[in-house]
Chains A and B, each alone.
Chain A
Amino acid sequence: MNEILLRHREINNLDQLPIYRQNKGFETFKRAVTGMKPEEVTEIVKASGLRGRGGAGFPTGIKWSFMDKNNWPHYVVTNADESEPGTFKDREIMESNPFQFLEGVMLCAYAVGANAAYIYLRGEFWDLAAELDKHIEYLEREGLLGDKLFGSEYGLRLYTHLGAGAYICGEETALLESLEGKLGQPRLRPPFPPSFGLYGKPTVVNNVETLANVPLIVERGAAWYRGFGTEKSPGTKVFSLSGNVEKPGNYELPLGTTFRELIFTHGGGIPTGRKVKAIMPAGASSSLIVADDKALDTPMDYESVPSVGAQLGSASIIVIDDSVSMDWLINKTVHFFQHESCGKCTPCREGTYWMRHLTERIHQGGANWNDVILLNEVATNIKGKCLCALGDFATEAVTSSIARFKGDFEGKTQAAPVKMEAKVSS
Chain B
Amino acid sequence: MNALQQRYGEEIERVLSKYPADQKRSAVMPLLYIAQREHGYVTREQLDQIAEILAISATDVASIVGFYTLYHDEPGGKYRIQVCDDLPCALRGADEFLNGLCQRLHVKPGETTPDGLVTVEAVMCLAACHRAPMFQVQSQERISYYEDQTVDNAMQLVESWRQVNGK
Contact = CB atoms under 8 A, between A and B. Distances in A.
Do the two chains touch directly in the complex (Cβ atoms below 8 Å apart)?
Answer: yes
Contact of A184 (B23, B56, B67, B86): B67
Interface residues of A, number: 51
Interface in B66-90: 67-71, 86-88, 90
B155 interface: no
B71 to A, nearest CB: 6
Interface in B126-167: 126-130, 136, 142-145
B63 A183 contact: yes
A243 B88 contact: yes
A127 B25 contact: no
A124 B42 CA distance: 18
A425 to B, nearest CB: 22
Given A181-B28, A242-B129, A284-B87, A163 B124 contact: no
Contact of A180 (B23, B30, B33, B127): B23
Nearest to A86: B88
B142 A127 contact: yes
Contact of A165 (B19, B56, B70): B70
Contacts of A130: 142
Contacts of A166: 67-69
B71 A242 contact: no
B106 interface: no
B91 A320 contact: yes
B93 to A, nearest CB: 11
Contact of A164 (B25, B54, B70, B92): B70
Nearest to A88: B127
A228 B166 CA distance: 58
Contacts of B63: 183
A240 B23 contact: no
Interface residues of B, number: 40
A123 B70 contact: yes
A161 B126 CA distance: 17
B26 A243 contact: no
A163 B29 CA distance: 7
A82 interface: yes
Main SS at interface, chain B: mixed
B27 to A, nearest CB: 7
A91 interface: yes
A85 B29 contact: no
Nearest to B71: A164
Contacts of B47: none
B37 interface: no
A249 B132 CA distance: 11
Contact of A127 (B126, B129, B144): B144
B127 A87 contact: yes
Given A127-B142, A243-B91, A181 B124 contact: no
Contact of A161 (B30, B86, B136): B30
B18 interface: yes
B29 A248 contact: no
Contacts of B33: 162, 164
A318 B87 contact: yes
A182 B54 CA distance: 13
Contacts of B64: 181-183
Interface in B4-47: 18-20, 23, 25-30, 32-33
Given A318-B88, A324-B91, A122 B127 contact: yes
In the A-B complex, the 5 residue pairs with the closest CB atoms: A165-B69, A164-B68, A181-B25, A85-B125, A248-B130
